[in-house]
Structure 1
């Protein structure tokens, strides 16, 4: 079974290489052609109230042995134990055109979700409680469509995330601070979840930090609805961290277009908007930092199944439009997308800095209480 997964992942890598020439000239059109489903949306039932009481609906949750997120990469210091509950929403791992949403029993997307949890959510493994739900995520091609089918697919996926969050809130101790984290599609869900479940409620006071990484967040049109400010300084808590990574000279058009297609939380246009950029090397809004500030990138093998920590890989600065620009084009692996888009490496590029940032903001929240 493991060998089948590795073959599948290697095949995906080959496909990425084979398509790069076409994608470099027509990135958005080619991606849409390759990944957008050619069928109508299939209506499905919302999750039952008790669905997320089932441990099988979680990649990680307290009491679950052997979850992939509790991994400490070679070269990393042991995770600092923190009295906090983390709710992590994984990014898109379903690439199939046969459905708008991943079936919960789809083998490949489940395994890829576990692999990504190992690489990304492990930065939060010091949490006393770490919860990572499975959900009927939208397929990659849905991000490239503004059709009714895509809209329905997003609503279905979001309903699952809300149901998982409701179970999470019901289970965690009432005096425990909360960190919300997610990447890409996961960050998109978090931004809505904050507006729908947290903003303006007593729960907002328990939020130590939000890490909505890999999705464009508008300070003007999203943050007010999310009910939390940007994390302007390294010791801020109860605030939002976000960034999108690009090589020097990279083009963020595809990522910005995806955000504009889904729309702002206040319903306004995002045309020409500047997005939130919290520099992961400094923990501050905007600014720049040299490679010496990078405490350790997680250098993953091509299958994302292992890796080691490498300090000083790259510096980074926040551009005026909100893109996080790296120094040059760091060699991270084969999943650098057209436009020097390091989307798949948003977290691995700054893995140690993110883990430290997480700990610092939790302690800051606890100190202020």
Structure 2
């Protein structure tokens, strides 16, 4: 299990259903029956205060042997002396309906999470040292129901993330910080931005926040997150976000739930535009389709590793903020595509090389901005803030 690369075996449960006639008729209900826990949420105690000071509480950290986030395809290497510190929150890897939250020692969930780190977090190892915590993540079924249990499960997961982030800050020292996550991890990252970055001195140290695979409303969420949307390729201290679909796309399963919710700014998300970053250019995507070269990962036949491919596809952002590819690269898609032509599983791997370049470019911009402030304050014997 630990050797299989990038695509989690458990997602086949969902995708097999998606491929059947029954799913097309009763898909949502079948998923709920298969994945939503039947029991009630069980409250759990807070983790001991020093829990994340223990190396075993991390899936990835700079001193971890066999760190999955250090993987790179042929032709790339992790930075020998990484300048930034990266806090990465992995997506849902627990699909058991027996519990609302994953046990920290669940080997199957942890193995899947490590696979995600290889295919996602590894994009950032050219810019920074990566920390990625284990956490009592909400089970997959929590995203298929409006039960109060689901919200409680997500709250529990977030408390672990918040505790891990405090330890990360202690260990990262005064380095520039890159924040990144995917899916459930991106949801928790949004909360972290609101609670720990917005209006805090820490905001000045943020190189960029990659809130990928989860919607960010420009009007209902962004004002509360403390950082602006990235609107320039060499901008630092900003947020990038995208959700990948191939045309023709049907994002209704995402938008229906999104529109029924309230944003972090306290207003309804219904009908609001979402951040849609073009991962190649690093700026908001155009509504007009254009061809772009992308650096995507293609898994080997046995999923033991992957190669980096140079592919070409068209990209555009639709009116609400969904990233649309004209066609998928060779070797990507098939049975791993979610309903509605949703390439959610591939949000990072489709643009692995592009994300890598983007992080390094924004780190250089952050370094230049900080150097300018130091030079400005030096004559006065003052140290630049942040």
Q: Is the contact between residue 90 and residue 182 of structure 2 (CA under 8 Å) also seen in structure 1?
A: yes
Structure 1 spans left out of the alignment, 5+ residues: none
- Provide the C-alpha distance between the structure 2 equivalents of 1:302 and 1:90, rounded to a whole number of angstroms: 24
Q: Is the contact between residue 69 and residue 117 of structure 1 (CA under 8 Å) also seen in structure 2?
A: yes
Q: Is the contact between residue 178 and residue 208 of structure 2 (CA under 8 Å) also seen in structure 1?
A: yes
The alignment status of 1:198 with 2:223, answered yes or no, reads: no
Compute the TM-score of the two structures, normalised by the length of structure 2: 0.88
Q: For residue 85 of structure 1, what is the aligned residue in structure 2?
A: 85
Shift of 1:2: 5.2
Matches for 1:144-183 after TM superposition, within 5 Å: 144-174=144-174, 176-183=175-182
Q: For residue 257 of structure 1, what is the aligned residue in structure 2?
A: 256
SS of the aligned residue for 2:85 comes to strand
Q: For residue 135 of structure 2, what is the aligned residue in structure 1?
A: 135
Shift of 1:66: 1.3
Q: RMSD of the TM alignment (CA)?
A: 2.2
- Provide the C-alpha distance between the structure 2 equivalents of 1:321 and 1:136, rounded to a whole number of angstroms: 32
Q: What number of residue pairs does the alignment pair up? A: 364
Of residues 322-331 and 64-73 in structure 1, the stretch that sits farther from structure 2 once superposed is 322-331
Q: For residue 357 of structure 2, what is the aligned residue in structure 1?
A: 356
Q: Is the contact between residue 2 and residue 112 of structure 2 (CA under 8 Å) also seen in structure 1?
A: no
Q: Is the contact between residue 245 and residue 323 of structure 1 (CA under 8 Å) also seen in structure 2?
A: yes
Larger radius of gyration: 2
Q: Is the contact between residue 247 and residue 342 of structure 1 (CA under 8 Å) also seen in structure 2?
A: yes
Structure 2 spans left out of the alignment, 5+ residues: 371-386
Q: Is the contact between residue 8 and residue 115 of structure 2 (CA under 8 Å) also seen in structure 1?
A: no
Shift of 1:304: 5.1
Matches for 1:254-333 after TM superposition, within 5 Å: 254-260=253-259, 263-287=262-286, 290-294=290-294, 296-301=295-300, 305-330=304-329, 331-333=331-333
The verdict on how the C-alpha distance between 1:117 and 1:272 changes in structure 2, with shifts beyond 3 A counting, is: same
Shift of 1:262: 5.4
SS of the aligned residue for 1:246 comes to strand
Shift of 1:32: 2.1
- Provide the C-alpha distance between the structure 2 equivalents of 1:325 and 1:19, rounded to a whole number of angstroms: 20
Q: Is the contact between residue 232 and residue 285 of structure 1 (CA under 8 Å) also seen in structure 2?
A: yes
Shift of 1:303: 7.0
Compute the TM-score of the two structures, normalised by the length of structure 1: 0.92
